[in-house]
Amino acid sequence: MPRSKEQFEEMRNATREKIHSAAMQLFVHQGFGSTNVQDIADTAGISIGLLYRHYKTKDQLFNELVDYAVEGLNRNITFFETDQSPKKLMAQFVDEVYTDMINGEELTHLLILINQSLLAGSATASKHYEEILQVNARLLDSTAQLIRKGQQLGEFYSGDAQEMAVLFYASIQGLAQMKVLLKSNFTMPSPAILTAFLLKERK
């Protein structure tokens, strides 16, 4: 019995997810330059011909992954700009980061991928370099605004909101690096530890 259009689309999406997962893993652990298309196909468990049906070049795949990561950053900006309690928003965000970090590799790999794309500059990420810088700046600003609002409401500790936002994201980025380096020896700090400098009496 021939497959339906929906079944073909499901198979196509499943294959792309395998490719994305394999590529992120290899880019993070081996670096973009040291990863070839055959490595990605082998890790994904597919033929190189099938990979080329989805992506013509390694750069195209890398750029799509960075696009995905940038979408995530934009979602975070929108989330922080809602009218909910700053304490509630920050607690929910940190809980999600904690859950993602202990249950899988995707968030870790996406954070490192963004970092790699910035460090690569014009070499592999010319399409994204300025965009990522702008989105990162917006995310810092929206987080700092959230912290200021939380300070005014007495939910957050006092301090320079911009500096606190930088520290917050630096700790998350550093934890992603530590998870890759330490592997099974990595212990993810609890949400309470992650926000100890920020939230008053987190519950």
* Tokens coding 179: 């998870």
In the chain, the percentage of residues whose pLDDT exceeds 90 is: 68
Q: Say if residue 79 is in the same domain as residue 168.
A: yes
Task: Report the CATH number that the domain containing residue 92 is assigned in CATH.
Answer: 1.10.357.10
pLDDT value for 121:
58
Residue whose C-alpha is closest to residue 66's, from 19, 129, 141, 140: 129
User: Would residue 111 be called left, alpha or beta, if left means φ above 0 and alpha means ψ between -120 and 50 degrees?
Assistant: alpha
pLDDT (tens digit per residue) in 131-177: 888 999 999 999 999 999 999 999 999 999 999 999 999 999 999 99
Q: What is the DSSP string of 25-87?
A: HHHHHH-STT--HHHHHHHHTS-HHHHHHH-SSHHHHHHHHHHHHHHHHHHHHHHHTSSS-HH
Residue whose C-alpha is closest to residue 148's, from 104, 108, 90: 90
> What is the domain range of residue 41?
1-56
Q: Say if residue 42 is in the same domain as residue 116.
A: no
Residue whose C-alpha is closest to residue 167's, from 144, 201, 138: 144
Q: Say if residue 83 is in the same domain as residue 151.
A: yes
Task: Report the CATH number that the domain containing residue 19 is assigned in CATH.
Answer: 1.10.10.60
Q: Say if residue 132 is in the same domain as residue 197.
A: yes
Q: What is the DSSP string of 110-173?
A: HHHHHHHHHHHTTTT-TTTHHHHHHHHHHHHHHHHHHHHHHHHTTSB--S-HHHHHHHHHHHHH
Q: Say if residue 133 is in the same domain as residue 182.
A: yes
pLDDT (tens digit per residue) in 25-69: 999 888 888 999 999 999 999 999 999 999 999 989 988 998 888
pLDDT value for 122:
46
Q: Say if residue 49 is in the same domain as residue 63.
A: no
Q: Say if residue 15 is in the same domain as residue 74.
A: no
User: Would residue 57 be called left, alpha or beta, if left means φ above 0 and alpha means ψ between -120 and 50 degrees?
Assistant: beta
Q: Give the residue from 56, 80, 97 where a domain finishes.
A: 56
